[in-house]
Structure 1
Amino acid sequence: MPLRRPATNGLARTINYPPAEALAWAHRRRGPVVRLAAGSRRFAYLLGPEANRFVFANDDLFRVREAFAGLVPVDGPTSLIVSDGADHRRRRRLVQPAMHHRRVGGYLRIMADNADAAVGGWASGKRIDAYLAFRAAIRRSTLRSLFGPRLALAADELAADLQPLLDLVDHLPDVITLHRRLRTPLWRRAAAARARVDARIHAEIGRARAHGTDADEHVLAELVHGRTGDGTGLSDDEVRDQMVTLIAAGYETTSAAMAWTIYTLGTHPEARARARREVTIVLGDRPPEPEDLKRLPYLQAAVSEALRLYPPAVLSARHAAADFELAGQHIRAGTTVLYSPYFTHRSEQVYPGARDFRPERWLTADDEPRRPPPHEYLPFGGGAHRCIGSTMATTELCVMLARLLARHDYRIPPQRLSATGFAAMRPRHGLLIDIA
């Protein structure tokens, strides 16, 4: 089975992820439904925009709890990511206000300040691991924006505690189950880390319930004190799970997307120059305000195009709760169903020149944003379970990229680059840039 391999020296304009490239091979031979079996487990890959549309439109046919059971060691059993039905709707209603675009607009200064802190010491000729630098900046920004300064001051310690958990869930679900059953060193390190994370988070929840929250602890206040129409709120364990989900997913996926955005602009000098000119004309050296983002159409298009080529989740999953048919294929209840943003985004039938970086595809002739159907562009999933933090993630990418381009130009030096991670596709060995 021929697969495109990442460059071993020099640079590839578009980095491929070999396990996901196999989906294109399977689609050419079997069509939009590819069924597999492993022992008693059944899998069905639903490939392409019409398959995506079917999944998003038929939420009642699926459950996510079984599909994402491997995330429970990090996110917890009541996280939005593993919630279904009425529980999912109730928890989502309580988290949603903090992710509204008007609320996210209030986080822009925090995002810009953390970007400036990351890039402020960079000088011409210096070589930087941009992935690691912005991973730390986005982590601090996420904590400060959503949960206030107390947790932000502990960002590095919290990250160190979360890392063994993230290392665990970077494996496929069946492998995680095997680690748990065998109580391997990886599992034991993750369990100890989970205890430390829980102690820190529950201490914050207890403080908020006993003494109230400060004015800048927006999300913590809403999670602890929020009520639905029937007057019910979240338990301490539910608050803990939503907090950890927002923290871990917030910086893990966004920092991966930031690295790929820097890479794509770095390997396309004309696009990078156009984005820098736009930032200079609109902002000069000042941080963006909410109303400025609409005046940066090319920058936003570059972010959208990077998310198309490098969607945070290569695959997403559902558990079939009932039998169904798609494209003449019968899928039985109990099957693990997978759909792929990566496959859809790199399909020539959906995006001509799909492996080329073309920010212009997201702009009309008048430089107005072009908005594709949700089943064709799905970097944050879709349907009832679409990522609740998508607005915050894209805003943070635009703000931090604007600050980088306002402060520095850069080049991508020769290096070995490859992609890894199904849940948060990222550069395996980081991303080196040279400051011009």
Structure 2
Amino acid sequence: MSRTDRPPRNGPLQQFRTLAELTFTPHRALLNQYRRYGPVSVLRNGRSRYVFLLGPDANDFVLSNSDLFSWHESFESLIVINGATALLVSDGADHRRRRQVLVPKFTQRIVDGYTESIRAAADTVIDGWRRGQRLDLSRELRSMVRRSTIAVLFGPRLAAEEARLGALVDEVLVVVDRAEPLQSLQRKGLPSWRRAVRSRAAVARRVAEEVAHRLRTGAPDDGDDVLSLLLAHRTPAGAALTDTEIVDQVISVTAASYVTSSAAMTWTALALLATPEEWRRCRDSIPGPGWRYLDGTVSEALRLHPPVALLPRAVVSGFEYGGLRVHAGDEVLISPFVTHRIGEVFPDPERFDPQRWDPHRPDHRKPGRHEYFPFGGGPHRCLGAGFALAELTVLAEQLLRRTTLRLDEVDATPVGLADMQPRSGPHVTVLSVD
């Protein structure tokens, strides 16, 4: 039996420790898993078998062989928020049909046209800040990203309710952004799970009301947002999109966009706030043509703190990799968080270095899709990746242009696997605001 076909350290005590570490300190545990056992290892928990395929070569294999995995089974735990027909939990022909409907609103040309709406959303939040005010910046940025995302994708009526809708979505995220052992316990009917189900239902009702309003007023043909596009493909027969599919796409795209983007924006802001020199250098680079230091800062923040640290894949067709036989029913786990911190891929990987992304540096090397994938990869790569990157950049520009902030305190320990945030903060004081 090969080393990779054995549980870590071959003993139940070590397995228990590893499982506990993954449950309570998952980011440290992921790095330890790779350092201890290399790119291929196995962990068993009862009848469940988890196969860790870590590092760029393993990523390349998994991302290039999507037919071996079921996305519906991989992300079944997210149905409580996304809905059963959401793009994220779709496979095969249903996935291709639903994705094809949405693609036109996420081309680079269209995304470039969202800039002013994103900037306006940032300004709406910044306009409420005052000199000397102390802020929980992560909360402010979450509101900023949520307003931007909903306004651009689903129009001003829903954007005006972003605080209420966001609070409801956050109640659902509480139960999905946890390690699987805790999720399984919650699904047995704990109060947190019942609250999540009620909150999701409330969001669905509000989205359905907006759909009815647009159909009643004729807005589907006049609007220029994603909801208008979805309604243009509406059909009771289901050849394009049913009403249930439309509601699920609205909720899932909103949740995925604002959750991952707000997490990434928090880490980006924290990087800007690290030193006054970093803030000044990014601010001064804004008007520059071509590659800018700010662009490198955003890319580096996404490298060290990708919004989703761990990507599961439910195996439906067995295969062999690295001398290990992987069976149908196993769960494969790949990790952008681990890959982005491997020294062979990114030299001195723990150092925050925006200039490693400067294409004019003599030693610059553009990483492959299997080496740098903060928004996932393969046929199911996040459809809104280009939008998220544009959103992060524009929001950072507005922070730099309009404010000067002082970092007061932060616990930068990463928490959350599907919504990786600093454990606490950052808390800042507004030194100036224009």
Scaled by the length of structure 1, the TM-score of the pair is 0.88
1:164 pairs with 2:171: yes
Give the 3-state SS of the residue equivalent to 1:372 in structure 2.
coil
* Matched position secondary structure for 2:228: helix
1:365 positional shift: 2.2
What is the percentage of aligned positions where both structures have the same residue?
41
From 162, 171, 179, the equivalent of 1:155 is 162
Question: Which of 118, 138, 149 is the matching residue for 1:131?
Answer: 138
Distance of 1:91 and 1:352 partners within structure 2: 40
> CA 1:24–1:429 in 2, change beyond 3 Å: closer, same or farther?
closer
Alignment of 1:400-415 (within 5 A): 400-415=395-410
CA change 1:157–1:373 in 2 (3 A) is same
Any residues of structure 2 matched to 1:34-433 within 5 Å, and which? 34-181=41-188, 183-213=189-219, 215-226=222-233, 232-279=239-286, 281-282=287-288, 295=290, 297-365=292-360, 371-433=366-428
Residues of 2 paired with 1:302 and 1:216: CA distance? 35
Q: Is 2:410–2:425's contact at 8 Å kept on the other side of the alignment?
A: no
1:184 Cα shift?
1.7
Residue identity matched to 2:107: H
Unpaired runs of 5+ residues, structure 2, are 1-13, 19-23
User: More relative contact order in 1 or in 2 (CA 8 Å, sep 6+)?
Assistant: 1
Identify the range of structure 1 (140-149 vs 27-36) with the bigger mean alpha-carbon deviation: 27-36
Residue aligning to 1:28: 35
Structure 1: distance between partners of 2:163 and 2:127: 19
CA RMSD for the aligned pairs? 2.4
What residue is the counterpart of 1:287 in the other structure? none
Which stretch of the first structure deviates more once superposed, 120-129 or 320-329? 120-129
In the TM superposition, residue 226 of structure 1 has moved relative to its aligned partner by 2.7
Counterpart of 1:202, as a letter, is A
Identify the residue that residue 285 of structure 1 maps to in structure 2: none
Kindly report structure 1 stretches of 4+ aligned residues shifted beyond 4 Å: 366-370
Could you report, residue by residue, the CA deviation over 1:140-173 in whole angstroms, capped at 9, with x for unpaired residues? 1111111111111121221222222111212234
196-205 vs 294-303, greater mean Cα deviation? 294-303
3-state SS in 2 of match to 1:164: helix
Aligned residues: 409
CA contact (8 A) 2:172 2:199 kept: yes
Residue 248 of structure 1 aligns to which amino acid in structure 2?
A: A
1:247 corresponds to which letter in structure 2?
A: T
3-state SS, counterpart of residue 237 of structure 1: helix
- SS at the partner of 1:125? coil
Please give the per-residue CA displacement for 1:366-425, whole angstroms capped at 9, x wherever unaligned.
799964211000100100111111111110110010011011222322343322110010
Distance 2:35 2:164 in 1: 47
Kindly provide the amino acid, as one letter, of the partner of residue 162 in structure 2: A
Distance 1:126 1:157, change over 3 A: closer
Distance in 1, Cα, partners of 2:364 & 2:279: 19
Single out whichever of 294-303 and 104-113 deviates more from structure 2. 294-303
Q: How far 1:350 moved relative to its partner?
A: 0.9
User: 2:6 — aligned with what?
Assistant: none
- Provide Cα deviations, 1:292-330, integer angstroms capped at 9, x if missing partner: xx6452211110000000000010011111111111111
Whether the 8 Å CA contact 2:411–2:426 is kept in 1: the answer is no
- Quickly say closer, same or farther: Cα 1:201–1:157, change in 2 above 3 A: same
| Matched residue SS, 1:409 | strand
The secondary structure found in structure 2 opposite 1:376 is coil
Secondary structure of the residue aligned to 1:428 is strand
Q: TM-score, normalised by structure 2?
A: 0.88
Instruction: Note the C-alpha offset of 1:27.
Output: 2.0
Deviation at 1:269, TM superposition (A): 3.5
